[in-house]
Chains A and B, each alone.
Chain A
């Protein structure tokens, strides 16, 4: 079972997100992450979805999405031809010793420390899902207070060799 990224352009109407997500619920497809944003053309939004499933499930998902009246296009973004990014914000409890350690780990991953309080630190990291997963692996030993991830957003690369 592979992870797939779908980039869906939709008409920016009230309820369009509910339509897309209810389709997934009804057909039993699992959404791993979902982000919605405006695009450069007025009246349209981009929904970037990641789903896990085999090829036949992916084929059904794409075809069922295309049937929604407000869906303008559905693009399946392949890992080698698209750039994908996620944003992580994580808040960790610190003391004198761990503060330096966390700085060092952040440097390795090129993450930024965006907030510092006497007892906690907030770190921001942008990168691929794999990079963020790896970063979190290293932070697991520290007392994590809160965290959130935005989910994947992605665009096709024109420079990609097909």
Chain B
């Protein structure tokens, strides 16, 4: 069957089960968009305001659904606008397929109009990338891109397609995607060693991260935690694997983690790290992290073993495959002494101030869950609001809390919310943001208005770039260098100008009313919450330090 390159792209996307694409048209992708026009009944295209929004939307779609997210952009500026989104997905191991157009092959390398060497630019922030110069290689390259993006440790893959290739004709043979063969090899010897170590441990602690979510292993992980009675903490990427409020869930560990999580790790005899990579925000001092425990590290990426923290026992494999084998080898623990000890750590936990009627960060997050219920998808931007959202999240499932963990991308949240809303229609999406982050990509409000997406933005407006402000107050003797922007943005008018609903709240009563109304609306709402810029994210372990240096007030 003869098809042109653009039709081949559509066919392969359909082969791979893609039904939604985020993107923005332009000169070099005219052929591709022309095909999209004809495939519109089978592939939905969500037009964003900016390619960065589209890249975050593809990422949010992937995180919320577990399927790869797809983004289209034109050459030059279209392609460079994807860079932050790809880097965000790369740092958090999210499967994203980016398809960029480029100038025709005969114009490549001549500084042609809207030409950039996007594969060079994105080399270190993609798992792999391709330039397809020959239409006969297009279908298989795209298929391989999907395999790479979703296989092993997932990540973004970019495919750059010159304009003459998207127009050229060639034979197209449909191919079913190869049965996804999960790498199920697990080293038997290491498995036995680890099982013994856990069975003989007196004070085990688990630390899990995004790898558990990526391999859809939260059910198994939870079973093992309960069977072996292992108190567990998690990275921000592991939020929702254990429901909030579960007695084994000690919350987040690290710079803004809970006191019990850090103390439990410090006192553990065995630390079982699963699908986590000991980043500097988790192991704030890598040399002293869990220094008295034997560390077991289970991860799909061999390069993570001994990268940041020295590991005693490691096991390479897909978390799901490993836990399927490990679970029957783990003895049911009867002894509850360690759990009791852990529970007493809870008494040392930081408790936020409840004494005034003004809006407080923790109450805003609690009220969101109170009114929307716990079965929402929450997306965040980056900064203080992100940490509060993570600390007080009531997520009950993985894929319900979407945040830029590794790259820390301000402006991530709205695009991600669009992706999540498109990927899981019927689920309410709450986008938590700050005035700094929201200013970065608020243009995407127009997208959710066009598509009537049920996204409620809860904006923590403290008229400051809060996280940097907090650091300047704590560590730079209060020299507030460019963190109090003195902006006059009227967020209610802004929301209304985009065609969304805008509400401003100063009290909890007003907030609850606004949230109730937003929960019953179809389209997007922006709820601005007025906060003091003196609110700090606590507890905090300063960079390079340990639980012994934790700041609680």
Contacts and interface: CB of A to CB of B under 8 A. Distances in A.
Contact of B124 (A14, A22, A59, A66): A22
B200 interface: no
Interface bracket on A: 10 to 19
A22 B123 contact: yes
B479 interface: no
A14 B303 CA distance: 25
Contacts of B119: 15
A67 B301 contact: yes
A26 B124 contact: yes
A12 to B, nearest CB: 15
A14 B134 CA distance: 14
B120, B124, B303, B307 pick with most chain A CB within 10 angstroms: B303
B148 interface: yes
Interface in A46-79: 56, 59-60, 63-64, 66-70
Contacts, number: 29
Given A15-B119, A18-B120, A66 B302 contact: yes
A22 B307 CA distance: 19
A96 B119 CA distance: 56
Contacts of A23: 124
Interface in B353-374: none
A59 B123 contact: no
Contacts of A68: 128
A56 B310 CA distance: 10
A68 B124 CA distance: 10
A145 to B, nearest CB: 36
Dominant secondary structure of chain A at its interface with chain B: helix
B124 A63 contact: no
A60 B123 contact: no
A154 to B, nearest CB: 24
A69 B148 contact: yes
A59 B306 CA distance: 9
A103 interface: no
B127 A63 contact: no
B302 A63 contact: yes
A64 B303 contact: yes
Given A15-B119, A67-B301, A69-B128, 15 more contacts: A14-B131, A15-B120, A15-B123, A18-B120, A22-B124, A26-B124, A59-B306, A60-B303, A60-B306, A60-B307, A63-B302, A63-B305, A64-B303, A69-B127, A69-B148
14 contacts: A14-B131, A15-B120, A18-B123, A19-B123, A22-B124, A56-B306, A63-B302, A63-B303, A63-B305, A66-B302, A67-B301, A67-B303, A68-B128, A69-B148
Interface of A: 14-15, 18-19, 22-23, 26, 56, 59-60, 63-64, 66-70
